[in-house]
Structure 1
């Protein structure tokens, strides 16, 4: 099914915060990316992270963070930004929202972080829907092998060239 409406990305603003904090995922998904109620405060504390809201027709339906330090287990550098804590609200899953958000990601990163040419992330090997999403939107294996330092088990390391 395709996304209903228009999917856009926005930095987290005070006006969007309450809607983002209400985003929920299935219980079995929490171990992979957490929930915004936990991720947002962590992002608030760490200034190299930017909280990003996925909006559908102006309403928050997803969330992730961009980390200027990359992410653990992935390559790092002045040209790399890390993607972490992606969560799509359970009510919006399976509707193309995640795909639309990841397709909008390159333009968002270029606009917000000029000079960054690569997005890095890690994705758990036990999360086939997320692996499929990233693969379908241009992320490729980094060639570094699996990252074994994640709290939820081994992870693929993926890169997206912008």
Structure 2
């Protein structure tokens, strides 16, 4: 567990299943991301995926993301020490409180602590998701190309955390 800015990040394990049951995404969010439950099912079939829950001080799950190693990052990098940050979402009831920024800023330290061999973080952001693009750019992610992910055009961004 890592506390920062009144929140903490925790790798998912089955005892936390109840914590995502009330996670709320609006219908328009579904154009950009899968739900935490969908991501956890994918991780159950793929050991290279590490779903991660973000909690506030009231122990409510307020955000979610998956770190995808190996094959997950290969389409974007040849670096064996890179990770793909995917399916980031903030529960709709907790938006516009700075949580997204706080999570993105806490991510490099969390990765250094739990995955010390990782030197780069890659992510894909939908070309139509202007708000997320601005968030990542403010948090030192840099454009490194375009690709297609699940049939949608995305910008590939990266941050070096060595």
Both proteins in one fold, TM over 0.5: yes
1:23 aligned partner:
23
- Check conservation: 1:22, 1:37, Cα contact below 8 A: no
Query: Cα distance, 1:16 vs. partner?
Result: 2.4
3-state SS of 1:33 partner:
coil
Cα distance in 2 for partners of 1:152, 1:72 equals 18
Cα distance in 2 for partners of 1:7, 1:34 equals 22
Q: List per-residue Cα deviations over 1:44-99 (Å, max 9, x = no partner).
A: 21101111111111321111100112436421422101111111100011111111
Cα 1:72–1:78 change in 2 (3 A) is closer
Query: Cα distance, 1:155 vs. partner?
Result: 0.6
3-state SS of 1:94 partner:
coil
3-state SS of 1:146 partner:
strand
Whether 2:74 is the aligned partner of 1:86: answer no
Query: Cα distance, 1:138 vs. partner?
Result: 1.4
3-state SS of 1:19 partner:
helix
1:142-153 alignment, distance < 5 Å: 142=144, 145-147=145-147, 149-153=148-152
3-state SS of 1:155 partner:
strand
Cα distance in 2 for partners of 1:118, 1:51 equals 18
1:130 aligned partner:
132
Cα distance in 2 for partners of 1:106, 1:46 equals 23
Per chain length, whose mean CA-contact separation is higher, i.e. which structure has more relative contact order (CA < 8 Å, sep 6+)?
Answer: 1
Cα 1:161–1:62 change in 2 (3 A) is same
1:29-40 alignment, distance < 5 Å: 29-40=29-40
Unaligned runs of 5+ in 1: none
Unaligned runs of 5+ in 2: none
- More strand per residue: 2
1:59 aligned partner:
60
3-state SS of 2:93 partner:
helix
- Check conservation: 1:20, 1:62, Cα contact below 8 A: no
The TM-score normalised by the length of structure 1 is 0.88
Cα 1:12–1:31 change in 2 (3 A) is same
